[in-house]
Structure 1
């Protein structure tokens, strides 16, 4: 019986891989954002996701929990300002300034005074760092997390904690005397002053805001990748996590076995999760995306199929579209088939106008159930038939198409020339244990251009 990956193994392996790729700068964070599936959050913006990660950390939550007592002792500076008064004295009289003011009117009004009036200044460097940090936390908690009614959010922020922080930020008399955090621009001098403060609230605020700035700048130091790993896993996203694990391990294997290729930084203009390049070719790895393929077959309402069975199917789709629009007002495109694999790997010859020369279609199922295996197999073979790149690829002998099905614990008794079946544990094997090029990778690499392949990193 094939062993399944446990949740702990999956978490540890995925976070390790994520940290590695983020540090190397070879992971497309915009594509990653679309892959991270938080229940209750419809967010695929990497900047917003990073703020959520930051606010879910234990350090931030501990800092916010301790705030009610700490803000009572925030630092202020006592200043004096010159105020021109008439008939009253506020503070000590500045006689030289008073006499100059009276001289302007010929000393006719002896009720005019210029006073040195004391006031308390809250707009100091340490408070600017503190208030800006709190604003970043506040806007994330209220805009992103507050409306999420799922258990995973309450494990990080309870309803009472959110309500208490909301009241503190909006109603605390000390915080309200510091200008609005949204208007504050924290300077390097402000940060240095907070870092050198003798008060723990400011040194902690400095440390947290420094972490936040590096996170937002995609400066993936070890503590930043640890932060992302700490808050990566939330309940009900295990299937997506398994897909990411499989993608990361496939990237690792490709990087190991594709002679002459290396992982490259990737910009947000490309929707690939990662890509490898050589002097004359490029390999793109896509997760939950069709890449540059089309796996979508529209139905022409003006061209009714001649086969009676398909004609009935087309009629049923037309009836559905018309009824849906009549009953709800929603429109629906007539589609014979549409699909999106969990994994797409495209290999392009960059010396020949980016010609597609090899393709892998992958379906990933976080299950060892026979029925789920059958479902994944059917989906994968449908992708194979409908994959289009200026024509159906199954009919193009110039493009090698590989089909990969990955499950978590299902055992098959035979083999297929059409589909390779792996289990997650096959990818969990440390790379040092691999002595030979995996068969399912072979069509993607050297043989396409008669290049040598390697079995050593």
Structure 2
């Protein structure tokens, strides 16, 4: 059986991400964003990531290229400012308004005048939308894009392009007179005025702002919005794509089989998703250890001959490099951690823990390595006991008879169906069937 292609995996991840975000499903946007970050800057703010995609999109760049010529025809309106003064008169007197004011207040007071000063009005509804859109782009380009020191960014927005755009907007005398910025609330009157305009400066600004607003609100039913996000989406390495595809397929299968919905993620949680039933809470972590640790340190004074010699190796290595901190004897992190806990109890100890390892391969040697890695995770996983226990030390999960510990290896096309009591091997394509059979979760 051949492996799933990279393009198919990318399409699967994009489709599933759209399905969760577009329907308002509470997937952990921070956790997903860190996997799909195009900048290499470990961006965890999904809204920020969407702004970057918006600035990188082709419609925005085309609009920016046409901006210098179009800004010369920015709309204004002629208006008149009237001022009530007493004594010395400066400016043209509005005699009709002056006589009406004197008559209404004091007909005998000949020192009071109303003057009229014409001025150019810039605070038009379409101008407010235009300035707000350009301010959003300036902030994104100046703060986010310019900090990305990678060739693909410079191909889309060179340093000269960034500097020219920021200067053009910030120093334009017409835009300076429009009182709006990136945080200005855009009202329906602003949108409608830009939409009805015959000038491309405004009606294209309207179209871009509408797409930005829909992108910001995850309205991926609009194909143009999907295109903005995913045509500029950095596609991570194939292994990460495969891991995300496995996670999404597991989540979708759990939802379908148990008729449950994902629960909103609490702030600061590393879980990519949470599922709750009346009795159970299931936390799903991808590329995160969650409440577990997978680390073994050398004892202070090892008595075993092998460990003593290994300690000397580490000491000499650190001394040679001039470092003080020694490497641990073992450190690991599974691709998947699932914690199943009972909700209505004071004991925070999980009822079940599932550790998973994903390999986008059909190779037997890769499968063998994955199984060994999984056995290491199962053997070394520690969980800190708190409520309901007299001690608060981290203990090995495998030694705790109160926790059901299981392992899951998911490959892509490996024919083996080998299964032990606590470890199961699945093919990527059969995840839904195994969830439906109840072999993975029986809660």
TM-score with structure 2 length normalisation?
Answer: 0.80
1:149, distance to aligned residue in structure 2 (A): 3.3
Distance in 1 separating the partners of 2:209 and 2:132: 8
The residue aligned with 2:17 is: 18
User: What per-residue deviation string (whole Å, max 9, x for no partner) do you get for residues 410-451 of structure 1?
Assistant: x35572426434444445xxx6xx4x6567x614224xxxxx
Unaligned runs of 5+ in 2: 386-394
The residue aligned with 2:233 is: 233
| 2:329 pairs with one of 326, 336, 348 | 336
Query: Aligned with 2:339: secondary structure?
Result: strand
Distance in 1 separating the partners of 2:380 and 2:278: 31
Residue 208 of structure 1 pairs with residue 212 of structure 2: no
The residue aligned with 1:304 is: 301
Distance 1:437 1:184, change over 3 A: closer
Distance 1:316 1:357, change over 3 A: same
Are the aligned partners of 1:38 and 1:237 in contact in 2 as well (CA < 8 Å)?
Answer: no
The residue aligned with 2:404 is: 400
Query: Aligned with 1:275: secondary structure?
Result: strand
Of structures 1 and 2, the one scoring higher in RCO (CA 8 A, sep 6+) is 1
User: What per-residue deviation string (whole Å, max 9, x for no partner) do you get for residues 124-170 of structure 1?
Assistant: 22111111111111211222122323344356445564344234323
Distance 1:305 1:444, change over 3 A: farther
The aligned length equals 423
Let me know the Cα RMSD of the aligned residues: 3.7
The residue aligned with 2:264 is: 265
Residue 384 of structure 1 pairs with residue 383 of structure 2: no
Instruction: Within 5 Å, give how 1:128-277 maps onto structure 2.
Output: 128-154=128-154, 156-158=156-158, 161-179=161-179, 181-182=181-182, 184-217=184-217, 222=222, 226-227=226-227, 229-231=229-231, 233-258=233-258, 261-277=260-276
Instruction: Within 5 Å, give how 1:282-361 maps onto structure 2.
Output: 282-299=281-298, 303-318=300-315, 326=322, 332=325, 335-352=328-345, 353-361=347-355
1:372, distance to aligned residue in structure 2 (A): 4.7
Instruction: Within 5 Å, give how 1:112-123 maps onto structure 2.
Output: 116-123=116-123
User: What per-residue deviation string (whole Å, max 9, x for no partner) do you get for residues 230-282 of structure 1?
Assistant: 24632554332222111101111222333x64433334343321122221112
Runs of 4+ that moved beyond 6 A? 83-89, 96-101
Distance in 2 separating the partners of 1:8 and 1:98: 76
1:354, distance to aligned residue in structure 2 (A): 4.5
1:405, distance to aligned residue in structure 2 (A): 2.6
TM-score with structure 1 length normalisation?
Answer: 0.78
Distance 1:120 1:278, change over 3 A: same
Are the aligned partners of 1:37 and 1:237 in contact in 2 as well (CA < 8 Å)?
Answer: no
1:179, distance to aligned residue in structure 2 (A): 3.9
Residue 362 of structure 1 pairs with residue 356 of structure 2: yes
The residue aligned with 1:48 is: 48
Are the aligned partners of 2:382 and 2:397 in contact in 1 as well (CA < 8 Å)?
Answer: yes
Q: Which moved more, 1:221-230 or 1:395-404?
A: 221-230
The residue aligned with 2:418 is: 415
Query: Aligned with 1:286: secondary structure?
Result: strand
Unaligned runs of 5+ in 1: 447-457
Distance 1:312 1:39, change over 3 A: farther
